[in-house]
Amino acid sequence: MLFTQYYLDCLSHASYLIGDETTGRAAVVDPQRDVSEYLKDAEEGGLTIEWVLETHFHADFLSGHLELAAATGARIGFGPGAQADFDVESLEDGRRIELGTVTLEILATPGHTPESISIVVYDNESAAPYGVLTGDTLFVGDVGRPDLLASVGVSADDLARRLYQSLHEKLLTLPDETRVFPAHGAGSACGKNLSTETQSTIGEQRRSNYALAPMSEDDFVEAVTQGQSVAPLYFSFAAGRNRAEHDLMAEAEPPPALSLDEVMTLQADGAVVLDTRDQRDFAAGHVSGSVNVGLGGRFAEYSGDVARPDQSIVVVGDPGTELEAKVRLGRIGFDRVVGYLDSPVRALLDTPECSVRSSRVTAAELTELLDSGAELQLVDVRNPGEVEAGIVAGAITIPLAELLDDPSELEPKLPTVVYCAGGYRSSVAASALAARGFSDVSDLVGGYQAWTG
């Protein structure tokens, strides 16, 4: 058996290539949208990808099932009841896909979504399962949140009860030594307590996972529905796009270069300008009205809070990063990248009237402001689980996704300081507020960590 895990840090996403060396037959599970790495590894391993298997309709990224099927002719398989606008094969509970000496067994494990499945992997040289690909049903340290479909009328309580049954009647019946390979790790908004580890075992999760501790079904429902982060704004869009036929990603084709005049014209026509540089470089000078979402962090996720799916996007970044920005946006289905600002530093130096600087305050400076009694609007954009550990006294707590969706709780004319855990999200928030007309907005350098340190 050939078994490869691919881990995409910026989306905390794991996907898998499983092949049989004796037959050359293979399957890819939960692929990211840019699929060249799977194709390369399959070719080098002498494998033919015959199946693209999806553990569910993902909400946090646009999957590569259409791209892989177009490139290889592979069949696309989803769990029971899945309905899509393209041809899919429904994989019923207990279905076995024989790749040769390697067998994949489908377990229907609804709960995160109604059509969720897990995939048990057998290398027939061994009687016990090699492992189980658990999708978003079981993570290392957590289980899949059941509340993401509440907006489309699916009850979180009902899904949580189905999740409890899937865990206890299906996954926890596997041998303790069975390896667990989830679809996500720490940082994903698909759970609240995900580990940085990308694999585990059933036995280890039985012992250490809070959601698998002995408890009643009612207690489980309470445990997994409380304290979840605010879902990023693009989740419902991505979930819908994963069900739909759509254009394929051109992952090797960079966006066109634009002059500053062209960027300003596009911005005036409704395009969002995403500045992908480091917070310090952005603060030193940027296109007026642009929003800072650095490539060094969870760029696609937070860009999906700043931009809207039907909105044109212009990227500003360090030279040579424009294709990376386009691909990472494409991973969440944001394909309307109309270009990038050519030579941004030179363009802004040559046209200073189009360039503005950002205000940033240190923890010491914020202390002085607060001690002076100055009228100040202090905003904490961390998620609910994060603020439980403490906040800066007097801060208004608004998770980033909520703030970017609707900042009307704040007063645009008041001096405003925004902070998060380490400074990345606060730069997103502060720049977005400034782009919406807030007259005096700063972000806290180093975030809450700097404040408490």
* DSSP designation for 256: P
What is the spatial distance between Cα 292 and Cα 306, in angstroms, rounded to a whole number?
A: 10
CA 263 from chain centre, in angstroms, equals: 28
| Phi and psi based region of residue 292 (left: phi greater than 0; alpha: psi -120 to 50; beta: remaining) | beta
Kindly state the tokens that stand for 338.
């109309």
Residue 386: is it exposed, middle or buried by C-beta count within 10 angstroms (0-12/13-18/19+)?
middle
Mean pLDDT split into 10-residue runs, the chain, 453 residues: 97 98 98 98 98 97 98 98 96 97 97 97 87 98 90 84 98 98 94 94 98 97 90 93 96 97 97 97 96 96 95 97 98 98 95 95 96 94 90 96 94 97 97 96 97 93
C-alpha span between 95 and 107 (Å, rounded): 8
Give the per-residue pLDDT at 172: 98
Q: What are the distances in angstroms from CA 435 to CA 73, 86, 271, 414, 427? A: 45, 40, 12, 15, 12
Contact between residue 53 and residue 156 where contact means Cβ atoms under 8 Å apart: no
pTM: 0.95
Tokens 């049954």 correspond to: 165
| Helical H segments across 244-298, by residue range | 260-268, 279-284
Smallest CA-to-CA distance from 398 within 266, 265, 305 is with: 305
Q: The dihedral of CA 283, 287, 293, 296: what is its sign?
A: negative
What are the beta bridge partners of residue 100?
A: none
Domains plus CATH for the chain?
2-243 (3.60.15.10), 257-356 (3.40.250.10), 359-452 (3.40.250.10)
N residues, the chain: 453
| Other Cβ atoms closer than 10 A to 81 | 12
Question: Whose structure tokens read 């062209």?
Answer: 262
Q: Using alpha carbons, select from 109, 191, 181 the residue that is nearest to residue 148.
A: 191
Backbone phi, psi, residue 341, to 5°: -75, 120
pLDDT of residue 150: 64
